[in-house]
C-alpha cells in the first residue's frame, strides 16, 4: 500500500539541502575521485546518507527488524517494555495469579474445572508477561494451540512473528481453505517465503495490538518511534566519536627554519618530531613514544624583516583546544529521546529520567494516564488471548461459551486510584450505614452501584458469604 506513494518534490529538495549541509561539515568520509560536486558528494551518495533519516519502511518485516534492534540496543525502549508488561499483567508481591476468573451461581463445577484446567495447562499466569511484552513490541503475537487426544488444550506454542501470515477474505474473515494462500494462518521461511505449514482458525491465537482499519496485522507500539530512534542513534554516535577523537589536547610546535631551504626545513621538522617521539629503551635500542592520542602539528617558522629589523621566530609549543561546542549540545538528543518516550507511553519519572520535580497534580495526572494505558494492555491480553483460549476449550468439550457467564479480573494498576478508591470506600461505608438504617438501599445496590461489582463478581461473593 505504501510502495506506490510518490515522494513530493519539496521533500526531495529539502533532503538534498540537508545532505549538502552535512557534506560541508567534517563528515568522516573522504570524497571519491568521481565525485565532482561542490560539496564533494554526488547525488547517489547524498541519497545514501539521508535515506535512513527520511525513508522509513512501513513493511511488516522491516518494522519487526527495527523494533527488535531497538529492544536490543536502546536502554529506554527495553526498560519501558519491561515496565509496561510487568505493571500490566504481573501480580504484586511475587504472586503467581495476576488475574482471576469469577463465575455466576449457575455455572457447573465441571465447567469451572475445565476453565481452571486450561489456564493451568497453558500456564497463562506465567506466560502473560512475555505475551504482553511481545505484543507491544511487534504489534503481533502468534501462539499455536496444541491439543492432546482428549480434546484438551495442553500448550500455547510460540511462533516467530516474521514467519507467520494471516489470510483474510474480502469481508475481513479468516479463510478456511486447505491450500497454500487459503489457510487461515500460514508459516513460511522468512528469507525465502517457502511454505512450511497451514493452520485452521482454531489452531492459532493471533493477539494484535492497536489494529486499525482493514490491516490484518497489529501495529507495534514502537512503529512511529523508529524515525526518532534513527536520528537519536546518529546523534549519539556522533557525540561518541567526537568525545573519543577530540577529548585530548593537540600540541602545535612552531620551529625556527630561518635560512633553510624548503628541503632542509622539512628535514629539520622531521628530525625534531622524531627526537620528541624517540626514547632510549636499552643500550642501542630505541622506541617510539607517541605524545598524544591524536596527531600533533609541526610547522616551520622563520625570521621576518620589518622596517629593516629582523624579528626572531623562536621555537615554542602551544596547546590547541580541539573541543567543539556544537557537539556538546545535548538539546537535540533530549528532544528526540522525549519523542521516543512519548511513543512508549511511559512517564520519564518512572524510568529515572525526570530532571524537574513536577507539581503534585501533574504527577497524579501522569499516573492516571499511565494506569489507563495499562488497563488497555490488560484488555487486549484478556479478549484476544485468555478468553479465546477458554472459549475454544469449552467448545471442544461440547459447551457453548456464550452460555457460560464468567469475568476475568485484573488488579488496578494505579496507586493513586487505590488511594482514591480507599477514601471513597470509607465515605461509602459511612453513607451506607445511614442509608441502610433508613431502608433506602439494599446489598445488591451497594455492590453494583457503589462498589462497581459486575453481576458475576457479586454472585460469587454471595456464594462465598453463604447468602
Q: Which grid coordinates are listed for 222? A: 514502537
Lowest mean pLDDT among 39-53, 59-73, 345-359, 424-438: 39-53
Question: Which pLDDT value is given to residue 196?
Answer: 94
Q: How confident is the model at residue 346 (pLDDT cuts 50, 70, 90)?
A: confident
70-117 pLDDT, tens per residue?
Answer: 999 888 899 889 989 988 888 666 555 678 898 877 889 899 999 999
pLDDT tens string 377-393: 999 999 999 999 999 99
Range among 179-183, 211-215, 280-284, 436-440 with highest mean pLDDT value: 179-183
Is the Cβ–Cβ distance between 294 and 305 less than 8 Å?
no
Most confident of 8-22, 131-145, 293-307: 131-145
Confidence of residue 11 (pLDDT cuts 50, 70, 90): very low
State the sign of the Cα–Cα–Cα–Cα dihedral 197, 200, 204, 209. positive
Give the residue, 231 or 129, on which the prediction is more confident.
129
Band (39; pLDDT cuts 50, 70, 90): very low
> For residue 207, what pLDDT is reported?
96
Q: Which is more confidently placed, 254 or 389?
A: 389
Q: Could you tell me the pTM of the whole model?
A: 0.66
pLDDT band, very low/low/confident/very high, at 352 (cuts 50, 70, 90):
low
Which of the two residues, 428 and 38, has the higher pLDDT score?
A: 428
The model's confidence at residue 413, banded by pLDDT at 50, 70 and 90, is low
Q: Please tell me the least confidently modeled range out of 204-208, 349-353, 365-369, 370-374.
A: 349-353
d(CA 360, CA 372): 18
Own/partner pairs for 121-127, CB < 8 Å, 24+ apart? 121/152, 121/153, 121/154, 121/155, 122/153, 122/154, 122/155, 122/156, 122/389, 123/156, 124/156, 124/385, 124/386, 124/389, 125/91, 125/96, 125/97, 125/98, 125/99, 126/96, 127/156
Position 3 confidence tier, pLDDT thresholds 50, 70, 90: very low
Instruction: Give the model's pLDDT for residue 63.
Output: 93
The structural domains of the chain, with segments of one domain joined by +, span 1-55, 248-322
CA gap 17, 324 in Å, rounded = 23
Bridge partners (DSSP) of residue 142 are 159, 206
Amino acid at each position: 500500500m505504501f510502495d506506490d506513494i510518490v515522494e513530493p518534490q519539496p521533500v526531495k529538495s529539502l533532503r538534498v539541502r540537508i545532505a549538502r549541509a552535512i557534506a560541508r561539515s567534517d563528515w568522516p568520509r573522504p570524497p571519491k575521485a568521481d565525485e565532482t560536486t561542490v560539496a564533494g558528494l554526488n547525488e547517489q551518495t547524498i541519497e545514501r546518507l539521508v535515506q535512513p533519516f527520511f525513508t522509513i519502511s512501513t513493511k511488516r518485516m522491516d518494522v519487526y527488524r527495527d523494533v527488535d534492534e531497538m529492544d536490543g540496543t536502546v536502554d529506554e525502549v527495553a526498560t519501558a517494555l519491561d515496565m509496561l508488561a510487568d505493571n500490566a499483567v504481573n501480580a504484586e508481591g511475587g504472586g503467581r495469579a495476576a488475574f482471576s476468573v469469577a463465575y455466576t451461581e449457575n455455572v457447573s463445577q465441571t465447567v469451572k474445572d475445565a476453565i481452571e484446567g486450561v489456564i493451568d495447562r497453558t500456564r497463562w499466569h506465567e506466560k502473560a508477561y512475555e505475551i504482553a511484552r511481545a505484543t507491544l513490541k511487534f504489534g503481533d503475537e502468534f501462539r499455536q494451540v496444541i491439543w492432546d487426544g482428549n480434546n484438551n488444550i495442553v500448550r500455547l506454542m510460540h511462533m516467530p512473528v516474521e514467519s507467520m501470515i494471516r489470510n483474510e477474505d474480502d469481508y475481513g474473515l479468516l479463510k478456511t481453505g486447505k491450500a497454500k494462500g487459503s489457510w487461515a494462518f500460514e508459516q513460511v521461511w522468512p528469507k525465502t517465503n517457502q511454505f512450511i505449514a497451514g493452520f485452521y482458525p482454531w489452531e492459532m491465537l493471533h493477539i494484535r495490538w492497536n489494529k486499525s482499519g482493514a490491516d490484518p496485522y497489529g501495529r507495534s507500539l514502537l512503529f512511529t518511534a523508529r524515525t526518532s530512534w534513527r536520528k537519536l542513534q546518529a546523534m549519539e554516535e556522533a557525540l561518541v566519536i567526537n568525545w573519543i577523537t577530540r577529548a585530548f589536547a593537540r600540541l602545535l610546535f612552531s620551529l625556527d627554519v630561518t635560512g633553510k631551504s624548503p628541503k632542509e626545513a622539512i628535514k629539520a621538522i622531521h628530525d625534531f618530531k622524531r627526537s620528541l617521539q624517540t626514547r632510549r629503551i636499552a643500550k642501542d635500542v630505541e622506541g617510539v613514544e607517541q605524545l598524544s592520542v591524536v596527531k600533533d602539528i609541526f610547522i616551520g617558522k622563520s625570521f621576518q624583516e620589518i622596517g629593516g629589523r629582523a624579528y626572531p621566530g623562536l621555537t615554542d609549543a602551544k596547546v590547541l583546544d580541539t573541543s567543539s561546542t556544537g557537539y556538546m549540545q545535548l538539546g537535540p538528543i533530549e528532544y528526540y529521546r522525549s519523542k521516543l518516550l512519548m511513543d512508549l507511553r511511559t512517564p520519564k519519572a518512572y524510568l529515572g529520567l525526570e530532571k524537574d520535580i513536577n507539581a503534585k497534580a501533574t504527577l497524579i495526572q501522569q499516573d492516571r494516564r499511565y494506569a489507563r494505558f495499562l488497563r488497555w494492555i490488560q484488555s487486549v491480553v484478556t479478549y484476544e488471548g485468555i478468553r479465546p483460549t477458554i472459549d475454544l476449550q469449552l467448545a471442544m468439550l461440547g459447551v457453548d461459551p456464550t452460555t457460560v457467564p464468567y469475568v476475568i479480573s485484573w488488579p488496578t494498576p494505579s496507586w493513586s486510584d487505590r488511594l482514591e478508591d480507599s477514601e471513597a470506600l470509607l465515605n461509602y461505608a459511612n453513607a451506607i450505614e445511614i442509608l441502610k438504617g433508613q431502608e433506602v438501599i439494599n446489598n445488591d445496590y451497594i455492590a453494583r452501584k457503589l462498589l462497581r461489582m459486575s453481576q458475576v463478581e457479586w454472585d460469587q461473593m454471595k456464594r462465598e458469604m453463604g447468602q
